[in-house]
A and B are shown apart, each in its own frame.
Chain A
Amino acid sequence: MLKITPPFLRDGVSFLQIPPLTSSTMLPADEKALIEAFQSGDEFAFVSLYNRYKTQVYGFCVKMLGDKTLAQDVLQETFLRVYENRERLIKTSSFKSWVFTIARNQCLNQLRRSKRQVSLEDDVHGDPAPPVPQGQVAHLEKSEQVQLVNYFLDQLKDDYREVIILREYQNLSYAEIAAVTRSTLSAVKSRLFKARRKLASFMEPVLQQEQERVAAQRTP
């Protein structure tokens, strides 16, 4: 494998230290059998599948809804529908996409209900001014970092937020995201890239500020 260390390092951290995401659409060896058993009514198989996917689905819902209690309701509703509609799943290989599709629909319904969805015409809603952290980003408390990224996520409109969550948090491939969001591969890439551009524009002032602070500390 050819590795070229880029000439830019920030605080000794190269981007190569953060491994690029990799995603696999291949099912684990035993999962196909598990899904087939589930479809034929095996409840132990269902519990196994629930345990495999619950964290990912829950994480997706928390990030989409910004509320853990609502996310738990949606998690419940999602797996209930998975259970009730098990005969409708045609391809076992698309189980993951199918579960996320159900979860996504439930989240969008919930968002509509709680009237959080603002005009789709707007790229962002609300006041985009981020809560600028007092300390360096690298030295922020974990909870402060979480608060900051959640704030940024919340600034994205729903269809940008969902692709970011599916990719950055849940590690779905472009193809899986396309299946879940019922769009084409190119539409997914386009939305993901635009969403990242937006996120980068939120992050840059924070990083800039940090850079200036570090520079000021170094100057005697």
Chain B
Amino acid sequence: MTDPQPMGASSICTASWEAALNEYVDGELPMEAQPRLFAHLATCAPCRRTLEAVLAFRRMSRQEPLAVPPAADDAVFRRLDQVKQRAERVDRNARQRSLWTAPTPLSLGAAAMVAVVLFVVGLLVPMQLDEADSTALVSAGMERVEFEPAPAEAVYVFYPGLTVEATKLDAAAVPFRAP
């Protein structure tokens, strides 16, 4: 047999033999180290018993075929389907929300224009505040909007998106007038 002392000691069993034994059963012991392990096993009863026990355990542990029951497969895919549907719903909601909250792209020119308008408004505001009749942020030069007082007897009928007005007197005769 080959040299039975790969790790120093003669036939005294050391931890390194146990490691070699484990690596052998795991298929990790290099081929060239195997003859020396076998030689040690031939002279070491404890290592032999360990090896036999480990291999007996392995033989016995392979007696139990474990297959995933079809019902478990179904359960996995059912669950995944639920997750997917939920994710799709969340996605859809996010897309709808983004229509409302999406930032409007603003060009540099438009931004400059807004800045100029704000500047002009800023210049005019103090002047207007000095005037007694200063109810709106509109200058005299700008369009003045006059609101005609509504007739006292007028009634307003509100429909979604449309306001109609009619007088008490000829509510039936006067056609609806959009505001």
Contact = CB atoms under 8 A, between A and B. Distances in A.
A76 B83 contact: no
Interface in A120-171: 137, 140, 142, 145-146, 148-149, 152, 167-169
Given A20-B27, A21-B27, A199-B57, A10 B64 contact: no
B69 A72 contact: yes
19 contacts: A7-B42, A8-B48, A10-B52, A15-B51, A23-B26, A62-B66, A72-B68, A72-B75, A75-B72, A76-B72, A76-B75, A80-B83, A83-B80, A152-B57, A167-B26, A169-B61, A192-B26, A203-B57, A204-B53
B41 A8 contact: yes
A12 B151 CA distance: 116
Nearest to A201: B53
Interface residues of A, number: 53
B50 interface: yes
A1 B31 contact: yes
A196 interface: yes
A207 B49 CA distance: 9
Interface stretch (A26-34, A52-60, A92-100, A212-220): A52-60
Nearest to A3: B34
B54 to A, nearest CB: 5
Given A4-B35, A80-B79, A72 B28 contact: no
Contact of A204 (B24, B49, B79): B49
A18 B63 contact: no
Interface of A: 1-2, 4, 6-8, 10, 15, 18-23, 47, 50, 54-55, 58-59, 62, 72, 75-76, 79-80, 83-84, 137, 140, 142, 145-146, 148-149, 152, 167-169, 174, 189, 192-193, 196-197, 199-204, 206-207
Interface in B115-159: none
A6 B54 contact: no
A174 B91 CA distance: 42
A216 to B, nearest CB: 19
A153 to B, nearest CB: 8
Given A80-B79, A84-B83, 8 more contacts: A4-B35, A58-B66, A72-B72, A145-B60, A149-B64, A196-B54, A199-B54, A203-B57
Contacts of A10: 52
Contacts of B58: 18, 168
Given A2-B34, A6-B38, A199-B54, A20 B63 contact: no
Contacts of B51: 15
Contacts of A168: 57-58, 61
Contacts of A2: 31, 34-35
